[in-house]
């Protein structure tokens, strides 16, 4: 599997971009423009499919580089942030009781998503703030 590291990494990065972009678009449509199509079944299934590819590639990369959550601090941080992102995303798209709650959860989820990227790029739990 090691010989496919670069290809798997590219799939992972592409899935990160696709997942984040779809979440941004669905959240904007639903929370800013009140468009019901953002919750259409095909878009939800597409989101599940992208996230499955993303997680599968992540697990493969983790195995190749032999760094694991709860053993490597940056990866533990990334997993914990991912849990927070999923919870916030759930409130942003479905569970938020008011439009304001959904919009705040959507914005917070986007901030967490971007921070996850900085943690991944830096391989440091402080992400972008590690260089300060």
User: What is the predicted pLDDT for the residue at 21?
Assistant: 98
Q: Concatenate the DSSP letters of all residues of 44-70 into one string.
A: HHHHHHHHHHHHHHHHHHHHHHT--TT
Q: Report the distance separating Cα 30 and Cα 99, nearest Å.
A: 9
Q: Report the distance separating Cα 2 and Cα 63, nearest Å.
A: 9
Q: Report the distance separating Cα 132 and Cα 105, nearest Å.
A: 28
pTM: 0.95
- Output DSSP code: residue 130: G
- Sequence-distant (6+) residues with CB within 8 A of 103 are 31, 32, 92, 96
User: What is the predicted pLDDT for the residue at 5?
Assistant: 97
pLDDT one-digit tens code per residue, 19-77: 999 999 999 999 999 999 999 999 999 999 999 999 999 999 999 999 999 999 999 99
Q: Report the distance separating Cα 102 and Cα 60, nearest Å.
A: 33
Q: Report the distance separating Cα 107 and Cα 105, nearest Å.
A: 6
- Sequence-distant (6+) residues with CB within 8 A of 91 are 101, 102, 105
**Integer CA distances (angstroms), 57 to 15, 33, 91, 108, in order:** 9, 33, 26, 25
Q: What are the structural domain ranges in the chain?
A: 2-131
């Amino acid at each position: 599997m090691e010989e496919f590291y670069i290809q798997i990494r590219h799939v992972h990065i592409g899935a990160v971009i696709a997942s984040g972009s779809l979440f941004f678009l669905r959240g904007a449509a639903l929370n800013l423009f009140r468009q019901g199509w953002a919750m259409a079944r095909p878009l939800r299934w597409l989101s599940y499919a992208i996230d499955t590819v993303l997680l599968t590639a992540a697990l493969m990369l983790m195995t190749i580089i032999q760094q694991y959550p709860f053993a490597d601090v940056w990866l533990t941080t990334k997993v914990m942030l991912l849990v927070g992102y999923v919870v916030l995303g759930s409130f942003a798209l479905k569970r938020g009781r008011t439009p304001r709650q959904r919009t705040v959860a959507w914005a917070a989820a986007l901030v967490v998503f971007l921070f996850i990227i900085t943690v991944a790029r830096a391989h440091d739990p402080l992400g972008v703030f590690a260089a300060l």
